[in-house]
Structure 1
Amino acid sequence: MLCLGIESTAHTFSCAIIEKKGKNGKILSDIRKIYRPPEGEGIHPREASRHHAENSPQVLSECLEKAGVKITELDLVSYAAGPGLGPCLRIGAVVARSLSSYYDIPVYPVNHALGHIELGKMLTGAKDPLVLLVSGGHTMILAFLGKKWRVFGETLDITLGQLLDQIGRHAGFASPCGTKIEELASKSSNYEPLPYVVKGNDVSFSGLLSATKRIIPKGLEAACFSLQETAFSMIGEAVERALSFTGKKEFLVVGGVAANKRLSEILQLICKRHNCKFFVSPKEYSGDCGSQISWVGLLESSKKTGVKLENTFVRQSWRLDTVEILY
């Protein structure tokens, strides 16, 4: 089966085609165009949606060409229906709706967070992991039980990705800033004490954000190093507690921040203490991409038919733990 997946939740517009044979999936193409805001600024939903609308024809054309697939050969179309930025989500939904209507192809709305997890499982081979989802839109510790992903811990305010981006923008960089923060942090070992807030299995980053801004004048590299060490240690404590509670023997990190090497180092040490296999989504597919949406569409198509066009909704706030998993 062939599925076209469309991702447009935030700064990335992406189309990807995955071929599913049995239980295995093969990525035939994954084309992306990323909206880059001015330096020191975050994503403007209206500008990002305009970017997506202008680039969607080219991205779709390149995706089909690279995969060697004609639109009429597609078995289904899936799109990211949420959570995300409303104007951006609607561009992806319109593209999916148009293709489904004109070519009579079944269409599937997909939860963006679920896409991160399922593609991560497909690419790493993890079967039943405790999952850490860390990105600009999510910071959650999850385990699967009773047809749903259950939340064992999450952020109480801003996400880990937002924390890194806001510090980066404060320093004058353009979003996304995670790679730049990681680069600067690697050049220092001078730790400045910062607020460390873990409440049960939840974390809070707002105080850490304010405190890091105050120490930047002392040295940006040291501030980035201290920020990473504090935030990642907080995440590590919550993950270790969840591993102890669930007894899981697999651990998977997904989301854009999964690409951070220092975060992986800390989490690998924790997994070693718990005799737990460590998996991390490949860097190429850790951020937002159409492959995540395409693969979930294929999984869902095995158990249910596509939705009617009038039900091709978008939800800016669509929590993962409300999604019933039928496949």
Structure 2
Amino acid sequence: MPGRHRKPSPLKVPDRPYLALGLEGSANKLGAGIIRHDKDGSTSVLSNVRHTYITPPGEGFLPRDTAQHHKEWALTVVQEAITKAGVSMHDLDCICYTKGPGMGAPLQSVALVARTLSLLFDKPLVGVNHCVGHIEMGREVTGAQNPVVLYVSGGNTQVIAYSRQCYRIFGETLDIAVGNCLDRFARVINLSNDPSPGYNIEQEAKKGKRLVPLPYTTKGMDISLSGILTSVEGYISDKRYHDGVHDETKKDDIITPADLCFSLQETVFAMLVEITERAMAHIGSKEVLIVGGVGCNERLQEMMGIMAQERGGQVFATDERFCIDNGIMIAQAGLLSYRMGHKTPMSESTCTQRFRTDEVHVAWRL
């Protein structure tokens, strides 16, 4: 991955290669990745291994069961990351882990792994904000300079812009996150969780032909999604709803699961595009960076691209390797922080379910 030319940074060009292991486990993805910052200023992804805890259709993932999955797979995932990278634990400069936000029990299980490795190999720890990890990996992969960031995942929905060594939140969801909304809807219509509910909704939406009315709720820079979820669930009991074989004589009247997936996506994504455009206008940016698991959605990228193009701008997004929760994004943000002199003492190597994006001192940017 070649280095990008950006504005001057407080972060000096490395005097030697730096290596970091990143561990992510804030939800149902367990990830381990190893990144290297080279002397020429470039960044290399040496490995990025992930294992996902998948539940049966109609079921979500509970914190206790998800934590157990992470404990069972941690050794395998870390060993695979080390082997693929062609390095040893002794070569690492630091071990980075997700401090939050996320689900309590899974976060704790991964923090325990990080602390254990730190003690075994005498390596410093770096606690990382999950959201900042997404942003920094997105910036590195795409080369975006100073974008408005749309961060959309299972647990977070935020519109973010950078200012004075802090990622400022311009707008966010007032209730549930967009990924949570999609996941819960997928359970209602009994869609598979493999590989993910959001992906399967996206594929079903491509077959939808009917746009049914749903609540469109933007409040300034914020959005509300619980009402739209309730409304779309209401269509399930509508006498026009069919999820099986249809009477051809009434084909124009029926509402299919594909129609509901299509309608949900179009409405929710339009809300996200609106508040993102408002933030672009406010800070005068022509760049949008989409990060988080929902950011893989090609329809969201397309709708955002249309808006950005009309403003003479550009959309930056990554594929599922970096969009979906992964260890390499934690390694990237953690190594940037470590190179600025930050380390997390063992006594403070805790995790927290609520860790706001705007609480982080982004020391590596001007």
Shared fold (TM-score greater than 0.5)? yes
* Partner residue, 1:297: 334
Deviations 1:85-143 (A, max 9, x none): 11100111111111111211111000001000000000000111110000101110000
Q: Is 2:33 the partner of 1:16? A: yes
For the 8 Å contact 1:45–1:87, the answer to whether it is kept is yes
Letter of the 1:169 counterpart: R
For the 8 Å contact 2:192–2:200, the answer to whether it is kept is no
TM-score normalized by the length of structure 2: 0.88
Deviations 1:267-312 (A, max 9, x none): 0011111111210122321000001100011100111241211110
Deviations 1:21-50 (A, max 9, x none): 143211100111111122211111000000
Among residues 205, 218, 235, which one is paired with 1:198 in the alignment? 218
Q: SS of the counterpart of 2:98?
A: strand
Q: Is 2:75 the partner of 1:51? A: no
* Partner residue, 2:320: 283
Deviations 1:199-236 (A, max 9, x none): 00111111100111122333101111111111011111
After TM superposition, the structure 1 stretch with the greater mean CA deviation from structure 2, 223-232 or 31-40, is 31-40
1:63 is displaced (CA, Å) by: 0.7
1:174 is displaced (CA, Å) by: 4.3
Q: Is 2:207 the partner of 1:187? A: yes
Q: Is 2:209 the partner of 1:172? A: no
Q: SS of the counterpart of 1:151?
A: strand
For the 8 Å contact 1:30–1:291, the answer to whether it is kept is yes
1-side partners of 2:167 and 2:336: how far apart?
16
Q: Is 2:357 the partner of 1:320? A: yes
1-side partners of 2:231 and 2:118: how far apart?
49
Name which one, 1 or 2, has greater alpha-carbon Rg.
2
Q: Is 2:263 the partner of 1:226? A: yes
2-side partners of 1:52 and 1:237: how far apart?
37
Map of 1:112-261 to 2, 5 A cutoff? 112-175=130-193, 176-216=196-236, 217=241, 218-261=255-298
* Partner residue, 1:3: 20
Q: Sequence identity of aligned pairs in percent?
A: 39
Among residues 25, 31, 48, which one is paired with 1:30 in the alignment? 48
Q: SS of the counterpart of 2:145?
A: coil
TM-score normalized by the length of structure 1: 0.98
For the 8 Å contact 2:208–2:256, the answer to whether it is kept is no
2-side partners of 1:172 and 1:132: how far apart?
28
In structure 1, stretches of 5+ residues that fail to align are: none
Q: 1:155 to 1:75 in 2, by over 3 A?
A: same
2-side partners of 1:277 and 1:200: how far apart?
23
Q: Which runs of 4+ in 1 moved over 6 A?
A: none
Q: SS of the counterpart of 1:60?
A: helix
Q: SS of the counterpart of 2:22?
A: strand
Cα-Cα RMSD: 1.0
Map of 1:26-105 to 2, 5 A cutoff? 26-105=44-123
Letter of the 2:348 counterpart: N
1-side partners of 2:233 and 2:29: how far apart?
27
For the 8 Å contact 1:41–1:174, the answer to whether it is kept is no
2-side partners of 1:278 and 1:257: how far apart?
15
2-side partners of 1:228 and 1:158: how far apart?
15
1-side partners of 2:282 and 2:271: how far apart?
17
User: How many aligned residue pairs are there?
Assistant: 327
1:247 is displaced (CA, Å) by: 0.6
Letter of the 1:166 counterpart: R
Letter of the 2:28 counterpart: H
1-side partners of 2:19 and 2:165: how far apart?
25
